């Protein structure tokens, strides 16, 4: 029996005051909707995910087109109306549908499956996911009969004094049999005041003739939705702490963990040390015994064993084992750094490969370059890759020594065993074993300073 996930993500989220849809808002640099879709991809029960979109729907089509089925809610007329807009995808399909808001990022695949399992085991026609709150605030109250059958959901503003004493509240998460969902969604009537269709009304409509049960979720963070930036920050802080605690218990050392942010998709092996003010984003991999930080950002990169990275940025790149990066280095755009390489102070590496045992210790720019092993980039050396229109490649062999303040004008090839003299601007290929010098011979004009500034030379201070 198949299970379908129905995700409500059409709203604008006006309280976020953002120019992106609410469900696209980032939590630890990952959009909320990504957490939701991945949850169902990892579920052992959910077969298809249907995403209901509306405001700035183009974002969702662009990022999720191969992973979900889309339905559109052109006008936002409530949660019941949103489900109506997607109901045609469930016609003639047996099984059940898991309905969830698109702004609930922390619900785990494990809890999702537990909810579906209980729905099936208890033979419910509709299961309402609930939580118990000491202070129910504005949540809708769950009203049950003496046998535990859910009779209805009463919104706070409509609840009586007695009903407001109820501490079990609605999470807006449901599991419902498809045939009954198709039948009863069309029986929901618009609210007299707002003219919106509320999905909560389906509970009272079905309870008269069908079994409506409740699943109480104890970890209320898993059901927490996001309506404003303050709530987003609280969710992010909770998730950050959860990830960091898990890593530390698994053997990762964190200095000042409250200042460290690690993506939920990152893989960090035991023995790694992460220092303060460090961010590890995306699907980064940090291998054992590496030291990352302080003040470092790693984005979608692989850091091999025994690497040190301090005060630097690495994006979409790979760093080989026992290499040292920083301080204040920037490695980006699919660069590959070999083993035992030093990329040091204020050096930038872009879309380049640097072989083992090489050095770019300070103030170098290496762009669109393929460099071999044991290459030394002197201070101030630059691979000049851009002519204002096109970018060109520099190819450097093994055992090449590049002196300070050297410009290599691409496209250019430097063979093995070459020395480039300091201060040279190299415009032609250099053959194996050569010394290349491209600079004017020094000329000295004695006493020019005194003539130029019309000053008298002091013979006592030669």
Residue-by-residue DSSP string for 88-156: GGGTT--SEEEEEETT-----HHHHHHHHHHHHHTT-SEEEEEEE-SS-TTPPEEEE-TTS-EEEEE-G
Report whether 212 contacts 125 (CB < 8 A): yes
Q: How confident is the model at residue 232 (pLDDT cuts 50, 70, 90)?
A: very high
Q: Are residues 219 and 326 in the same domain?
A: no
Residue 15, pLDDT score = 85
Q: Are residues 219 and 318 in the same domain?
A: no
Examine the fold and report which residue of 223, 245, 278 is the final residue of a domain before the chain moves on. Answer: 223
Q: From the centroid of its chain, how far is CA 174?
A: 28
**Mean pLDDT for the chain overall:** 96
| Any domain includes 265 | no
Q: CA triplet 328, 332, 337: central angle to 5 degrees?
A: 85
Q: Are residues 319 and 209 in the same domain?
A: no
Examine the fold and report which residue of 193, 223, 253 is the final residue of a domain before the chain moves on. Answer: 223
Residue 422, pLDDT score = 97
- In 3-state terms, what secondary structure has residue 83? helix
pLDDT in tens, 7-30: 999 988 888 888 899 999 999 999
| Any domain includes 162 | yes
Q: Are residues 90 and 207 in the same domain?
A: yes
Which residue, among 361, 363, 371, 423, has the nearest Cα to 393 in the 3D structure? 371
Query: Residue 406: is its pLDDT beyond 70?
Result: yes
Q: Is 362 a catalytic residue?
A: yes
pLDDT in tens, 345-396: 999 999 999 999 999 999 999 999 999 999 999 999 999 999 999 999 999 9
**For the residues of 36-48, what is the DSSP string, one character each?**
HHHHHHH-SSEEE
pLDDT in tens, 179-227: 999 999 999 999 888 899 999 999 999 999 999 999 999 999 999 999 9
User: What six digits make up the tokens of 200?
Assistant: 């909560």
If one counts the domains in the chain, the total is: 2
Residue 192, pLDDT score = 84
| Any domain includes 140 | yes
Identified catalytic residue from 81, 119, 330, 362: 362
Residue 331, pLDDT score = 98
| Any domain includes 193 | yes
Residue 13, pLDDT score = 82
Q: Residues 88, 89, 94, 98: is their CA dihedral positive or negative?
A: negative
**For the residues of 143-210, what is the DSSP string, one character each?**
EE-TTS-EEEEE-GGG--HHHHT--EEEEEEEEEEHHHHHHHGGGPPPPTTT-PPPTTHHHHHHHTTS
| Any domain includes 255 | no
Report how far residue 146's alpha carbon sits from residue 280's, in angstroms, rounded to the nearest whole number: 51
Q: To which residue do tokens 């509320």 refer?
A: 198
Report how far residue 128's alpha carbon sits from residue 150's, in angstroms, rounded to the nearest whole number: 8
DSSP-derived letter for residue 328 is S
| Any domain includes 274 | no
Examine the fold and report which residue of 192, 223, 254 is the final residue of a domain before the chain moves on. Answer: 223
Q: Are residues 321 and 203 in the same domain?
A: no
Domain of 18, in residue numbers: 3-223
pLDDT in tens, 63-84: 999 999 999 999 989 999 999 9
DSSP-derived letter for residue 223 is G
- State in Å, rounded, how far the first CA of the chain is from the last one: 98
Residue 351 maps to which CATH number? 2.160.10.10
Residue 461, pLDDT score = 52
Q: Are residues 321 and 180 in the same domain?
A: no
Could you count the other beta carbons within 10 Å of the beta carbon of residue 165? 10
Residue 49 maps to which CATH number? 3.90.550.10
| Any domain includes 258 | no
* Percentage above 90 pLDDT, the chain: 92
Residue 456, pLDDT score = 87
State which of 135-149, 260-274, 443-457 shows the largest mean pLDDT. Answer: 260-274
Q: Are residues 183 and 84 in the same domain?
A: yes
Spatial neighbors of 244 by CB under 8 A, at least 6 apart, are 254, 257, 260, 262
| Any domain includes 430 | yes
DSSP-derived letter for residue 33 is H
Whole-number CA gyration radius for the chain: 31
Query: Residue 49: is its pLDDT beyond 60?
Result: yes
Q: Are residues 39 and 148 in the same domain?
A: yes
């Amino acid at each position: 029996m198949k299970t379908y996930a129905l995700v409500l993500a059409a709203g604008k989220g006006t309280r976020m005051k953002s120019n992106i849809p609410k469900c696209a808002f980032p939590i630890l640099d990952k959009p909320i909707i990504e957490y939701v879709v991945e949850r169902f991809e990892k579920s052992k029960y959910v077969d298809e995910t249907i995403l209901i979109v509306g405001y700035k729907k183009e974002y969702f089509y662009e990022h999720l087109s191969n992973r979900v089925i889309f339905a559109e809610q052109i006008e936002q007329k409530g949660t019941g109306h949103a489900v109506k807009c997607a109901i045609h995808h469930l016609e003639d399909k047996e099984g059940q549908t898991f309905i969830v808001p698109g702004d609930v990022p922390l619900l785990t695949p494990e809890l999702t499956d537990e909810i579906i399992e209980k729905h099936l085991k208890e033979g419910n026609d509709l299961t309402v996911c609930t939580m118990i709150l000491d202070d129910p605030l504005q949540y809708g109250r769950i009203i049950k009969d003496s046998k535990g059958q859910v009779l209805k959901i009463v919104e706070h503003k409509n609840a009586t004094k007695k009903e407001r004493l109820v501490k079990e509240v609605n999470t807006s998460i449901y599991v419902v049999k498809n045939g009954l969902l198709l039948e009863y969604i069309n029986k929901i009537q618009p609210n007299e005041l707002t003219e919106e269709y509320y999905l909560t009304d389906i509970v009272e409509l079905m309870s008269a003739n069908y079994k409506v049960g409740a699943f109480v979720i104890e970890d209320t963070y898993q059901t927490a939705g996001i309506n404003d930036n303050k709530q987003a920050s609280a969710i992010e802080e909770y998730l950050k702490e959860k990830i960091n605690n898990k890593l530390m218990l698994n053997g990762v050392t964190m200095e000042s963990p409250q200042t460290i942010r690690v993506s939920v998709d990152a893989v960090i092996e035991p023995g790694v040390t992460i220092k303060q003010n460090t961010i590890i984003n995306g699907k980064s991999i940090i291998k054992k015994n590496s030291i990352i930080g302080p003040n470092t950002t790693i984005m979608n990169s692989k850091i091999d064993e025994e690497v040190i990275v301090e005060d630097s940025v690495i994006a979409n790149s790979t760093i080989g084992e026992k290499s040292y990066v920083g301080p204040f280095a920037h490695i980006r755009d699919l660069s590959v750094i070999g083993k035992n390489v030093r990329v040091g102070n204020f050096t930038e590496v872009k879309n380049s490969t640097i072989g083992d045992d090489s050095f770019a210790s300070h103030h170098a720019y290496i762009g669109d370059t393929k460099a071999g092993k044991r290459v030394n980039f002197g201070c101030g050396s630059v691979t000049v890759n851009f002519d204002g229109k096109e970018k060109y490649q520099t190819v450097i062999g093994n055992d090449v020594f590049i002196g300070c303040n050297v410009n290599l004008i691409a496209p250019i090839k430097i063979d093995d065993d070459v020395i480039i003299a300091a201060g040279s601007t190299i415009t032609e290929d250099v053959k194996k074993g050569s010394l290349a010098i491209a600079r004017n011979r020094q000329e000295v004009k004695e006493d020019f300073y005194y003539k130029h500034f019309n000053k008298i030379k002091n013979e006592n201070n030669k």
